[in-house]
Amino acid sequence: MNMLTYKSPLGVLRLVADADELVGLYLPNAEDVPAAQEKSTPVLRAAAVQLDEYFAGTRRDFDLPLAPRGTAFQERVWRALLAIRYGETWSYGALAKKIGRPAASRAVGAANGRNPIAIIVPCHRVIGASGDLTGYGGGLDIKRWLLAHEARFTPAAQTSFSMT
């Protein structure tokens, strides 16, 4: 596996690829970063360019080959996260309904917390049913920053704060 260190407004992010697929984007305080050799590859460079655009407010959707690794349930949750549009938030319950498991909001929350491709697979867009920010692997300050960043570049008429 190969890794590229990326300097962002949040601090240093670590992008990890296996062959030509992105398998990880780790936030500054991540402890579970897989061992990888520091080496730029086409997919890592593309991810860095798209992150530059995201942080500049000009990119809303990422177009990268993704290969997060987890259990079948986790991967199902992570695929569903990709349906949450830029500037929107969903509750854990709404995400559980999306995958056809309406009673599994706690399991969905656990899978969400294990998402290895932060920001690009937008786990930061999942909040508590009451609208409160709840746990985030990168810390609530980073989650708050990401949501505020997206809100700055989303017209109010297009912003949705929860999916019921």
CATH number of the domain bearing residue 34? 3.30.160
**How many Cβ atoms are within 10 Å of 47's Cβ, its own excluded?**
26
With beta carbons less than 8 A apart as the criterion, state whether 16 and 1 touch. Answer: yes
Instruction: Mark whether 69 is an active-site residue.
Output: no
Q: What angle do CA 76, 86, 60 make, to 5 degrees?
A: 105
Please check whether residues 76 and 107 belong to one and the same domain: yes
Q: Which of 25, 104, 120, 123 is catalytic?
A: 123
Residue 114 lies in a domain: yes
**Domain-located, residue 65:** no
Is residue 110, in this structure, part of any structural domain at all?
A: yes
Query: Which helix or strand (DSSP H or E) is residue 80 part of?
Result: helix 72-81
Q: What is the pLDDT of residue 55?
A: 97
Identify the three-state secondary structure at position 136.
coil
Q: Alpha-carbon Rg of the chain, whole angstroms?
A: 15
Please report, for residues 2, 13, 90, 100, the alpha-carbon distance to residue 97 in angstroms, rounded to integers and kept in the order given: 36, 31, 11, 5
67 in a domain, yes or no?
Answer: no
∠ CA 19-24-26, rounded to 5°: 145
pLDDT tens series, the chain, 164 aa: 999 999 999 999 999 999 999 999 999 988 888 888 899 999 999 999 999 999 999 999 999 999 999 999 999 999 999 999 999 999 999 999 999 999 999 999 999 999 999 999 999 999 988 888 887 878 889 999 999 999 999 876 454 444 33
Residues 95 and 142 in one domain: yes
- For the chain, how many structural domains are there in total? 2
In a shared domain, residues 141 and 84: yes
64 falls within a domain: no
Close Cβ partners of 100 (under 8 Å, ≥ 6 residues apart): none
What are 126's strand-pairing partners? Answer: 90
Question: 99 and 41 in one domain?
Answer: no
Residue 150 lies in a domain: yes
Contact 99, 76 (CB under 8 A): yes
Parent domain of 36: 2-56
pTM of the entire structure? 0.90
Q: What is the 3-state secondary structure (H, E, C) of 2-66?
A: EEEEEEECCEEEEEEEECCEEEEEECCCCCCCCCCEECCCHHHHHHHHHHHHHHHCCCCCCCCCE
Q: Tell me, what's the pLDDT at 31?
A: 81
In a domain, 76, yes or no: yes
How far is Cα 14 from Cα 2, in angstroms, rounded to an integer? 10
